[in-house]
Structure 1
């Protein structure tokens, strides 16, 4: 019965220093700063001067970390220090963590731990140091929960949160700490049937108008003159599990304030990017042509032609006309929980995934009630994150009057357009990435569609700024076992000249698909409760995916990754690969093979240590 109530609740509501000047969740009036040309906007023709300067300073740190990594993995016939000293430009590395609820967050935590030299045994048995050598990290939805939680705790490590600090209550997903309160099905059904949103959200845990309650947070924002939607409640609910309990779960924490964190100012973390999608007013359509909007510590905006603008994130609550303030300036709108919630605001998808005629996640008798309620949310724009005033209102750079002429910008889950891995922020030509690690925890067992969509988007109107290497179709991903083991794409720049844009070649993409080694990690996106054992098993399996089962499947695996991340830099400087790296590429690079279509092909759903199989699954248990 509990599982039924959980599905019912989720079907409704699944819908996560300096502080806001209000010292709570509400934005507040501040003095307007001195700004160039009197506008908070700039054209998206390049990265910002702030980002450029920050990455240049970060590169000194990442270059040193990469030398340490390359020395440790013992590349043959290679002097790492000499290579980096003589490189015309050092490798520019980015990491992308997919969405997928707590499944993606926990798998992603294992992936990240395997890249982090602060993790126990990651140096010896995994890819420890790659995180320290990376300039960028991109995330959405469950991946954004992971990164947001770590960043808001001074970019702490997965090791620290999960294994070292037993007093910390963040990431406690067990019974009693889940997102939704136990409810009476009859009372909830009645509230749904009557479309009483105010009563429905009373079933959220921590929903209260008393001090520290979610209701009080939203009331403060409304009192300050700003609308709220279900995404505000969702973000503050997530903060109960992602942020420490101090200061009411960081209720006044701002995403723009990351720029003031010592760990960011000292360039000891990658540059964080969070992705969301824009929805045109009056429509419910989302696809690969939807506008991708990114948040970083300095700005909010998009390289897509529809927006083609970036705004100073710190002042996005300010009412503007073409970026120029028309009233008092506002600070505090970019609440950290609100931005994380925006990236995972997937309520609009429930009409497709929970209450469609063929969907089986909700009992048939409940579907009409839920469908009525969800449609009501959609009509009232309660199913998305509402950014009002619109930071891009009347932007002279915007190519879409649909998004720039409306006083409100509507955003929602960044993965619903098909790019469940947030690759677009990393593959824009302006950032000139050389290597991108793509971690795929999409629904079920991944089939490569996240990469297929990223590849195809570069040919669309919205993807004109994107560059991405060739990939096969989904059937070939499966039949060639490219989801059962890590695979590199775009290994040779000479084969990618047709994809080059303004002299920028697509990066090498290192793809890691979720697959089981010692735990079935294809849990439902709608699973909200994990025991401590389940949580740690999910994380451990994610570590196994990235480490190739603690290096037991390939003792040279970490060296092969080293070969991939230096590849573009070698090609720029005309350096021949070593024999070791050539052999690595023979093992891990997709060679462009496309098998002929197989009519009636059915994806094998079982795994062995190295591939997809049709026989009974046997998981090698690792101590």
Structure 2
């Protein structure tokens, strides 16, 4: 990461960038929403119609106006001039932001590529789809629609938002892909206020120790489905579901409880 690459090989033979793969930078990029909160002063090589005077005025009229490099995670493009990556091969740099900008808060997309053999995904959805900052299926359904458009068949069927809400799928764990061969089995765990009002705004930047502890405790409740009897066993059934071996007795009852079946189909 960080090394100048051309057509899959280092641009300068034997020269690689070290220590660019900083976890803080990666995490910061994945949650970067500054682009949505700030206006941008175009970069020096911008083709924007804004004149130099406007740029200079923005720079000198305030202590520090957001610059292009302030708002995005800048990465050397590892796919530069790599012909199989047609959408980004002409860009020497990649400017990355929070995946929510594309309507996909959950990083499902990389795991449903044909080159990857991912059997099961556990998805903790903390999207702020509703006015009170809870998920309602919008994001994962958008990933499904995008996958359909791109011909990525590893993504199981995901219903629309009205179905999520009417069937209460946004309030409990749901399994997707139960009766769909060739797809990745998905365990969807939406953010639910089991023990604490966890639908906090992204704009809330400071938390007390008590608030932090309460948020973490609620996260634990989401992972355990608030202590629902049988949930650990059912989660095990979900993980084992795609390995081709016989499932333990009792898994069928789990699938009946947690699986979403597309209209007209059943387990």
| TM-score > 0.5 by shorter chain | yes
Which of 35, 43, 56 aligns to 1:348? It is: 35
Equivalent in the alignment of 2:258 = 588
The 1:408–1:433 alpha-carbon spacing in structure 2 relative to 1, beyond 3 Å, is closer
Is 1:414 matched up with 2:103?
Answer: no
Is the alpha carbon distance of 1:584 and 1:409 closer, same or farther for their aligned partners in structure 2, counting shifts above 3 Å? Answer: closer
Structure 1 unaligned segments of length 5 or more: list them: 1-312, 353-368, 498-504, 595-623
C-alpha change, 1:482 and 1:332, in structure 2 (3 Å) is: same
Tell me what 1:534 maps to: 211
Residue 428 (str. 1) matches residue 113 (str. 2): yes
- What is the rounded CA distance, in whole Å, between the counterparts of 2:157 and 2:78 in structure 1? 35
Q: Residue deviations 1:261-302, cap 9 Å, x none?
A: xxxxxxxxxxxxxxxxxxxxxxxxxxxxxxxxxxxxxxxxxx
1:512 matches 2:199: no
Equivalence for 2:80: 393
Provide the C-alpha distance between the structure 2 equivalents of 1:442 and 1:426, rounded to a whole number of angstroms.
19
Map of 1:321 onto structure 2:
6
Tell me which of the two structures has the higher relative contact order, counting C-alpha pairs closer than 8 angstroms and 6 or more residues apart: 1
Contact 1:415/1:422, CA 8 A, preserved across alignment: no
1:406: how far off?
3.1
Residues matched between the structures, number: 236
Q: Alignment partner for residue 471 of structure 1, among 147, 158, 167?
A: 158
Larger Rg, first or second structure (1 or 2): 1
SS in 2 for 1:483: helix
Secondary structure (helix, strand or coil) at the match of 1:521 reads coil
Change (3 A) 1:560 1:336: closer
Paired residues of 1:321 and 1:394 also in contact (CA < 8 A): yes
Shift of 1:541: 1.2
Q: Cα–Cα, structure 1 residues 433 and 391, in superposed 2: closer, same or farther, change >3 Å?
A: closer
Contact residue 424 and residue 466 of structure 1 kept, 8 A: no
1:337–1:466: structure 2 CA closer, same or farther, 3 Å change rule?
A: farther
Query: How far 1:489 moved relative to its partner?
Result: 1.1
Q: Give the CA deviation at 1:579.
A: 5.4
Distance 1:330 1:579, change over 3 A: closer
Quick one: distance in 1 between partners of 2:26 and 2:169? 33
Write out per-residue CA displacement over residues 420-476 of structure 1, whole angstroms, 9 at most, x where no aligned residue.
Answer: 111112222322222211101111111011220221121233xx4561111210111
Structure 1 residues 589 and 329 mapped into 2: Cα distance closer, same or farther (>3 Å)?
closer
In the alignment, is the contact (CA less than 8 A) between 1:458 and 1:466 conserved in 2? yes
Q: Once the 2 structures are TM-superposed, how far is the Cα of residue 397 of structure 1 from its aligned partner? A: 2.8
**Cα distance in 2 between the residues matched to 1:333 and 1:584:** 44
Corresponding position: 1:384 with 2:63: no
Deviations 1:495-514 (A, max 9, x none): x35xxxxxxx1122111111
Helix, strand or coil at the partner of 1:585: helix
Q: 2:50 maps to what in 1?
A: none
